[in-house]
Structure 1
Amino acid sequence: MTSFVLAGGCFWCLDAAYRALRGVTDVVSVYTGGSHPAPDYEVVCTGTTGHAEAVRVEFDEEVIPADVILDAFFTMHDPRQLNRQGNDVGTQYRSAMFYEGDEQRERFEAARARADEAWGGGVVTTVEPLGEVFEAEDYHQDFFAKNPGQGYCLAVAVPKVNKIRQRFTEYLKA
């Protein structure tokens, strides 16, 4: 199994979109990239810890290629928005890829370059070394599936999931 830690706005949206793809074996909402020794949702939302809301996506490369996971990442959020996604504003909503080792860093940089071309330039996604990762609270895990009628899910997550369903049909779960 391979895992990537990716941040692109609220982790609820990334979680929901990745769970739709075959070969994704686990998605965990996490906080990473900051300095607070024990971040939780309340402190991360202050925007003072440096942490990003992110997901750890675990997947089987025999079923879904790593580049598809990364191209899906750049499809499900707007990587040209600095420290925000839509109405979610703050460094905790930044677009970032957290790498483990040189090989992963190079793969992430190549994906960012593809995205910059696809988006017509202006991609602000950072490629950062993976530091300590903290699992988000239980209520954030698989939030969309547990709260499908919630307003944010309907207004923000559903369109992102639909973009993934339209672009990556060959990798959708049955």
Structure 2
Amino acid sequence: MQATARRLFVASATSCARRRLTRNALPQHPMPLDQPLVDAAIRQALDRFPTGYAGAAAVRTDAGRIITSVAFDPPNSCASLCHEAGAYCEANRIGARVVASVCVSRETPGGTFIILAPCGICQERLALWGPDVEVAVAVLGRPGEWECRTLAELRPHDWLRAVSDAEQSPILR
């Protein structure tokens, strides 16, 4: 089922919706993951990387605060961190709950920003705030478009669910 309004497509039965990466697309109703959150990530990317490659992340907390961050790329690539890591750490530092997360990237100046879904490690980091955290994912075959999914939708067979179902402690031994 797809209903269109201002280039907005209903993606699933969840509160998440599909959007286009433009500054003109406005949400029909307030959501944790919306175009202003994507725009915040794009602004951070352009501020930090004005020429060449540009990428950044933005998260929204349960209080509505937007926190942005960029990747940490030291000379030893094994010590690098994803764009989202800084925002996740800052939210944790201030005791805030992350309710939405987005990561954007573009290869060249003037190029289209695309959405990068959270990698496996970032999904594990987001699990701190529960399975209902909203994340942006790319609409395959439509560069520049994105849709919203919950962390649970990205991880239908998550190990934390198995532990919870078995009523065991999630602490790894």
Q: Say whether the fold is shared (TM-score over 0.5).
A: no
TM-score normalised by length of structure 2: 0.29
Structure (1/2) with the larger helix percentage: 1
- Provide TM-score, normalisation by structure 1: 0.29
Larger radius of gyration: 2
Q: Which protein, 1 or 2, shows the higher relative CO under an 8 Å CA cutoff with sep ≥ 6?
A: 1
